[in-house]
Structures are given as structure tokens and as C-alpha cells.
Structure 1
């Protein structure tokens, strides 16, 4: 098989040997929109993390048999067109759960403890100027005893719930907006109003776009924090920036934006308040997580070559 990886830079230098043993392997660090067709030509198998494979491109790749998305989300591939052209599509799920959960709680603990502000103060020499052994300039709160609302209760949401319970938090699971709550779920707006911490883990869909905006932010406790390690666009960024600036909520920790890489005029990227922690879509990307990802993609290719179905979406 001719196997081509379109964006190896997204795999952070992890060994690509599992792909090299499966066929004639070609790797491109990055592939721009204008390079997609040239880089994909002649491939039986394409591996893509974020490179877009649309209908127009797929129609010009008659030899292509399999697309391996090196991620869980597949919004960068036209699945309808792939099915129409007889191209199989696989993805990888669950590989990044430990990494995302760890980063979720890194954001939570930093915001609740104002750790980022204390670190900045130490770097500026303020501890040396203290009149006592410590500094207590900013509030420091426990996770224990707090109500943590989870929006999106798949494998990630469930893993976050387990860790939150270990911290002693009261975990509630939000029902979908405008749905009657199922057993074990809390009505969406009630969850928003009662939570001390809201953690978002749902996919971005037409239904979840702008799921949290000015109306929902106004319902939140002034002491609440909002975490998003899922997808940009689920929270209205301009309205969140305004709520943070007005101290309407205590803080937010975001690892994702609606357009990535971040644009200069993005309301959250441009925000300079100390009640926002913004990281550049790294929650998924622990070293161990990427190793699991590469291994699973290679297993998807191996299964396909043997006529088996593994992680097939199309």
C-alpha cells in the first residue's frame, strides 16, 4: 500500500515506525489547502489529523481506498462524499482521555487556586517583599464540596466525573438544552445555575454551537468557573470575554477556540484579564496520548488491509 501522512507535525515528533512497516510510507510535516491534491496523489491510504479532505479533492483521488483520521472528530473529512466514492474512513477514540482529563483539572485547580497569578508574582519578586512567610493576595478554593456540572457525558465526561468525585466534588450531569431530564441527569438551565464549576465535553454540532452565551453566563454564579477542553464555538467567545471583563463569573479555562490557530482579533486570545487561562489546544497531546494514537491508526490500517472493520465510520 502507498500510505501518506499529510500533517506529521501534529504528532509532535512521535516515532512513525508503525506506519513505515505497513507499506510505502510518505510523510509531510504540514499540508496547506493548495498542496492537498499534490500530496495526496497516488495514495491508497491517507492519514490526516486536521487537513481537510472535501468532496472536490476526493473526486480527484481515484486510487484512494482508506482515510485514517488521526483524531476522534471527523469534521475535516466529507463523509458523505467518501461513502459515495467507496472510500473507507476510520477514526480513533479514547486515546486522549487521560491527557484531556489531566489538563481539565490543571485548568480547574489553577483557576480555583489562582496559581497562575501567584507564579507571576513570584517571578516578579513579590514574595521577597512579603511581611510574612507567605502571600495570601488571591483566593484559593477547594474542589471538594463544590458542585461540578458536566456538559457532555461520553467517555471524557465520565472520566472527569470520576476524578471530580475523588476530589470530593458533587457531580451533576447536564441534560441537553431544551430536553426533559433523563434519570440521573439535571435540567440544563438548573445545572448552569447551580454549578460552581462547569466543564464542557460535548462535540460541536449545530445544536451545541453557542450553547453557552450571554443568557447562560448571566445565570451562572459570580463565583463559578467555566472550563472548555472540547471544541471552540460551543461557548460564544465574545460574550464570554465580556462576562470575564465585567467579573460576571469568576474565571474560565479554555483549550480550544472557534478558529485555530488563534486569530489576533479573537475575543479570548485578545483578552488580557487574569481570570482567563488560555492554552493552545494541547489537552489531547500528552506524549503517551500521541503514542496511543499512532498505534491505533496503524491498527486501523492493518485491519483494513486484512478485510476487517476496525473503527470504521464509512
Structure 2
């Protein structure tokens, strides 16, 4: 039986590092087969997951020997942290390893949605020349970027946005006012940020306090031509409210990389049909060739360090 189980995709070199020192089962199909996953972890000391594997309930019960969980990413809402703490199971997120990838995604989405020109391809292929429709595209320079949450990813985003001439404001009630990070962003409460920002980007974990914090009422406080970007967690926004606001012209555009249910089910996907100025991506903001190496290598190092310390 394996010492380490990896239930979602991981960079091959990092898997080889794990396998060189411990018996390792690498099977990305396990994420979609809970019964097989529960059987696989029965003797395992470590479990490595991304965001889809639910580390709770039957999986934790089956993994009686589990000592640690390596998270190939930073969000922890798929892991029962209270149960892990009660059992002494250490959880190791890959903090910082995909910050750059997410920051670049956010800035790119802002550029695309503000300018609008890159949605012309279907018209062009059909023989159209939609130049008149696109002359009102907006420049990024001079716009205000509002960051909801001002942790490490948001700060990477802020530095890149500032280089493009954007002003940066942020809301983060957990970050002390005296923190030096505020030198690079204006401090705002949430209402003020929503009113002032031309682009709002979300950078908060999913908790009971943040669940659907961007709902219809929050969208109504934003500028009608503002852009909303969510590469944090799907449950932070009300997806139906965003689709409705875009259709009604009460929101200038949106990029959604994360969703309440992943992958999108048919009814959830249907609400986004024919919605203008919308970018949907499959939870990919933090995934690039480079970040996958960093995230996988850091996670492997964390798990190996833990297991070898206890061997």
C-alpha cells in the first residue's frame, strides 16, 4: 500500500521526487472516484490534492494513518481543516507558488475587458468590419483597480497594474492599518472601493463571511461600466446576479475563473449563454507551465520534509 497518494495532476518531476523516497500512488483519476480514493488512502501517510478532492468525511475516516495533506494551491475550502487539526494532520498549502500566474491573469483580463477589441473575431470571420462598435474601448492607464483582499496575490497584481498606470485601492479588514503594504494601495472600506473602482478584483478565501459578498446589492454599488474579476473562489460571488447585471448593462464586463460548482453543470452554464463582455475560464488562473513546476515542487518538498522528520 502506498505511503503517499496523489489524487490530482502534479508535475512529473515532483512526482518522481516523491516516488524516489516513498511508495507513491499517482492517479489523477482518483478525484472522480471517491470509493477508490478512500481505499487508496487506507495505509497512506500523506495525501496530495488540488482543489477538487474533498478531504473530509469518508476520505478522512478511511485515512486512519494520514499525517499530512499537501495542497497543490492555496485555497483550503475543500479540506476539513477542523477535522485535520483534531487528528493532528498537518496541511501544507503551496503559498506563494502561483501568485505571479494569478496576478498576470487578473491584469490580462482587465486589459481585454476594458478594451473590448478581442471579442471581434467571430464578426471578422463572418465578413464583418465592427470598427464602429469598438472605438469606445477603454485604456487601462488612469483607471482605478480595487482589490478585495490584499494578500500576496493581490499585491503582485497591484504592482503590475501600477506599472500600467492604474491607481490601486484595496479593502482588507484583516490587514493592520500600520502594515507597510498599504504604502502601495489606498485603504478603503468595501462600499467605498466598489463605488470608486473601474476594475474590481477579488482575492479572498471562501468563508461564511465572504460567501456571496458580491451579490446584486454589491453590484448595484459599482460603476455601471466597471469590470469584475474573480480568480479567488466561486462562492464569493452570486453568479446569477452577475449574468443579470451584464445582460442589463449594469456591469461593464466580468471574468470568472472559479464557480460555485466545478465543473459547470448545465443549468449553471446556461445562465451565462449570450451574456456580453464575459470571459469564463476553467479555474486556470493559477495554472501555467511555470507555476505548475513551482507549486508541485513546493508541495513535494513540504510532504517529504514532514514524512522524513517522522520516519
What is the TM-score normalised by the length of structure 1? 0.87
SS of 1:137's partner is helix
Q: In the alignment, does 2:30 pair up with 1:33?
A: no
- The CA deviation at 1:267 is 6.1
In structure 2, runs of 5+ residues without a counterpart are none
Could you say which residue in structure 2 is the equivalent of 1:172?
169
> Contact 2:243 / 2:272 at 8 angstroms: preserved in 1?
no
Q: Considering only aligned residues, what root-mean-square deviation do their CA atoms show, in Å?
A: 2.4
Q: In the alignment, does 2:22 pair up with 1:23?
A: yes
SS of 1:21's partner is helix
Which is richer in helix? 2
Decide whether aligned partners of structure 1 residues 97 and 35 sit closer, same or farther in structure 2, where only a CA change above 3 A counts: same
Could you say which residue in structure 1 is the equivalent of 2:6?
5
- Out of 132, 137, 142, the position equivalent to 2:133 is 137
Could you say which residue in structure 2 is the equivalent of 1:250?
252
- The CA deviation at 1:301 is 1.9
- The CA deviation at 1:15 is 6.0
Could you say which residue in structure 2 is the equivalent of 1:311?
none
- Out of 299, 305, 308, the position equivalent to 2:307 is 305
Decide whether aligned partners of structure 1 residues 180 and 24 sit closer, same or farther in structure 2, where only a CA change above 3 A counts: closer
* Residue range with higher mean Cα deviation, 98-107 or 32-41: 32-41
> Contact 1:209 / 1:235 at 8 angstroms: preserved in 2?
yes
- The CA deviation at 1:252 is 0.8
Q: Within 1, Cα distance between the matches of 2:258 and 2:13?
A: 23
Could you say which residue in structure 1 is the equivalent of 2:146?
149
Decide whether aligned partners of structure 1 residues 176 and 216 sit closer, same or farther in structure 2, where only a CA change above 3 A counts: farther
> Contact 2:7 / 2:26 at 8 angstroms: preserved in 1?
yes
* Residue range with higher mean Cα deviation, 142-151 or 84-93: 84-93
Q: Within 1, Cα distance between the matches of 2:133 and 2:38?
A: 56
Decide whether aligned partners of structure 1 residues 84 and 191 sit closer, same or farther in structure 2, where only a CA change above 3 A counts: closer
- The CA deviation at 1:63 is 2.5
Q: Structure 1: which 4+ aligned runs deviate by more than 4 Å?
A: 12-15, 179-184
> Contact 2:74 / 2:95 at 8 angstroms: preserved in 1?
yes
What is the TM-score normalised by the length of structure 2? 0.88
- CA offsets, 1:230-272, max 9 Å, x none? 1111111111111111001111111111111111111676332
Q: Within 2, Cα distance between the matches of 1:76 and 1:229?
A: 16
In structure 1, runs of 5+ residues without a counterpart are 309-314
- The CA deviation at 1:149 is 0.7
Q: Within 2, Cα distance between the matches of 1:256 and 1:215?
A: 21
> Contact 2:162 / 2:168 at 8 angstroms: preserved in 1?
yes
- The CA deviation at 1:181 is 7.9
Q: Within 1, Cα distance between the matches of 2:225 and 2:85?
A: 48
